[in-house]
Amino acid sequence: MSQFAKITAIEYVLPVKTLSNEDLARDFPEWNVDKIFSKTGINNRQIAGVSECASDLAFQACDKLLNAIDLDRSAIDFIILCTQSPDYFLPATACILQDRLGLSTQCGAFDFNQGCSGFIYGLGIAKGLIETGQAKNIVLVTAETYSKYIHPADKSVRTLFGDAAAATLIQAVSGGPFIDRFRYGTDGAGAKNLIVPIGGARNPGSVNTAPALYTDDSGNVRTDANLYMNGSAIFEFSMTRIPELFSSIFDEYFTLDDVDLFAFHQANKFMLDSLRRRIKLPIEKFISEFEHCGNTVSSSIPIALKESMEKGVLTTGKTVVGVGFGVGYSWAGCIIKW
């Protein structure tokens, strides 16, 4: 009998520390609380502690998931971690997680470096592993601590990003497919528009000399060791590529009428409102769950799905179109049947 990959559980965690709009308004007096919210749709972002890494959040999310399900840890045969803020250049953080979680040494584990499209990419990887018989119970983990890359005087990104981790259980079941119609896209020409310029092998920087501070045309302060985002270029990319990707998912056999909910990467209010209007999607089917946590990069879609489940919006039998997009440039979409 054929086996199909299906999402069967999601849990997520946020760090304890909160960065509120009131905190940001004190740091940037030219922006009041109402202005920050009107531009971003975000009230709070949760920020990792100084010694709290992506693996710590990932462990908490996985532990929460594994304690909530009726499945022995020895049955987990693969753990996949999507992160752009790993603990080390090597080894893979997923290997550290396998040991810390007490999973079997017969469990496969690897990291992949992807951003806001990472959850959809991870679902595609999990589907491939399960439906070719290589695994039966996969934990897909998304974990980021972008705050560690953000300069405290850079309001362009500090107002948007929050830290988080999500753990999604994907299992082999019959009667599918439950995740399908994957579509992917990449345009590396946009890599420079969302980047931490130094710190890797290409441009490692110096341990003896701090990178120079500079101020951009909008008054944001950062160094080349910090996250840089060209907001207007990211917006233009999103408005061009995402409607094209979205349209490619549909045909005469699968139409908009077949979809109950749309779960896009939870970037910010302006971006999501603009995409929803461009694609002409009904607001009542469009998930928006980022006000309490900000843009959590690869965790934004699983957090949105979990919140929708908790609120009774996403229930068994419903069909979701998931769309991720951002750093890379990278974009991906699929359908998810609950």
Can you tell me the distance from the alpha carbon of 221 to that of 215, in angstroms, rounded to the nearest whole number? 4
Catalytic residue among 53, 62, 107, 116: 116
Are the C-beta atoms of residues 108 and 174 closer than 8 Å to each other?
A: no
Please list the residues that pair with 332 across neighbouring strands.
184, 324
CATH 3.40.47.10 fits 4-177, yes or no: yes
Residue 131: per-residue pLDDT: 97
Mean pLDDT by 10 residues, the chain (338 residues): 93 98 94 93 98 98 96 96 97 98 98 98 98 98 98 95 98 95 98 95 84 89 94 96 97 96 97 97 97 98 98 97 97 98
Location of each CATH 3.40.47.10 domain in the chain? 4-177, 180-337
**What's the pLDDT at 67?**
96
Q: Give the C-alpha distances (Å, rounded to integers) separating 252 from 87, 255, 256, 280, 319.
A: 46, 6, 10, 18, 17
Q: State the pLDDT at residue 206.
A: 77
- The per-residue pLDDT for 208 is 74
Q: Which of 193, 226, 268, 295 is catalytic?
A: 295
Q: Which of 265, 268, 293, 334 is catalytic?
A: 265
Q: Domain 180-337, what architecture?
A: 3-Layer(aba) Sandwich (3.40)
Q: Quick count: other Cβ atoms within 10 Å of Cβ 121?
A: 23
Neighbour tally for 182: CB within 10 Å: 17
The two three-digit tokens of residue 6, written as one number = 């299906």
pLDDT for the residue numbered 260:
98
Q: What pLDDT, on a 0 to 100 scale, did the predictor assign at position 1? A: 63
Strand partners, 232: none
How many Å apart are CA 249 and CA 335, to the nearest integer?
Answer: 8
95 given a catalytic annotation: no
Please say if 265 is a catalytic residue: yes
208 has catalytic annotation: no
